Amino acid sequence: MLEQLKETVCKDNKALPKNGLVLWTSGNVSAKDPETEYVVIKPSGIHFDDLTPDNMIVVDLAGNIIEGELTPSVDTESHLYVYNHCPEVLGITHTHSPYATAFSIAGEPLPIYTTTSAAVFGREIPLSKVAAVGEKAIGAEIVRCYRETSCPAILLRNHGVFTVGKSATNSLKNAVILEETAQSVYFARMLNAGIQPLDTSYTDEVFDFYQNNYGQK
């Protein structure tokens, strides 16, 4: 069932440690199959080296396990909340990547200082409120921020990062570029506390250019 999607989700989860976004067993990537509306997600507390397409978990949008012998990620309910409220989202990545998480602790949204972040995110990465304990509250806070800003990356206050995308791999890319952005901005802020974000007229232009010119057709 959903063999190709399980392979993609497995590969994208394994890309998390490879890209320096997670340690140990934390962090996860999921995808929603647009036809069946089933969601494929990582099992809970399993090391990334031990993930295979076969131990990915398939759940429906209500959280019922459709396939898989292991307990799904503890964050499954947050992912489902987003898929249920944002039908255009087909992939979600969650990490505690260190530089982005630092901004979430420091309590600041991440402004756009680079052409790369302008090209990928368009505008400032929003910062959520501290979510109440429990996975539904986290999901609701992500949806609120995403609805308000249309930004596919959210700094979850005192927690970490959620990114969404039009596929699992697209959400993963957003998580990679977010951490790269947070890292450069962190260093730049240390060198010069007074740096100013790029003008939105400029970042809008960069965003449009990149969306229309990057990658293979």
Give whole-number Cα distances, 95 to 25, 163, 174, 191, in Å: 10, 9, 11, 27
User: Encoding tokens for residue 216?
Assistant: 């293979």
Q: Which is nearer to its own copies, 33 or 124 (CB)?
A: 124
* Shortest reach from residue 36's CB to its own copies, in Å: 26
* Shortest reach from residue 24's CB to its own copies, in Å: 5
User: Encoding tokens for residue 172?
Assistant: 């993963």
Report yes or no: 175 and 90 within 8 Å, Cβ to Cβ: no
User: Encoding tokens for residue 145?
Assistant: 């921020």
Q: Which is nearer to its own copies, 35 or 191 (CB)?
A: 191
User: Encoding tokens for residue 174?
Assistant: 């957003």
Q: Which is nearer to its own copies, 56 or 87 (CB)?
A: 56
* Shortest reach from residue 122's CB to its own copies, in Å: 13
* Shortest reach from residue 121's CB to its own copies, in Å: 14
- 3-class SS at 92? strand
Binding site for its own copies (CB under 8 A): 19, 23-26, 43-46, 70-71, 74, 96, 98-99, 101-103, 105-108, 113-116, 130, 133-134, 158-160, 173, 176-177, 179-180, 183-192, 195, 198, 202, 205-206, 209-210, 213-217
* Shortest reach from residue 79's CB to its own copies, in Å: 15
Q: Which is nearer to its own copies, 1 or 105 (CB)?
A: 105
Q: Which is nearer to its own copies, 34 or 45 (CB)?
A: 45
Q: Is the Cα torsion angle 179, 184, 187, 193 positive or negative in sign?
A: negative
**Separation between Cα atoms, residue 52 and residue 9, nearest integer Å:** 10
Report yes or no: 116 and 198 within 8 Å, Cβ to Cβ: no
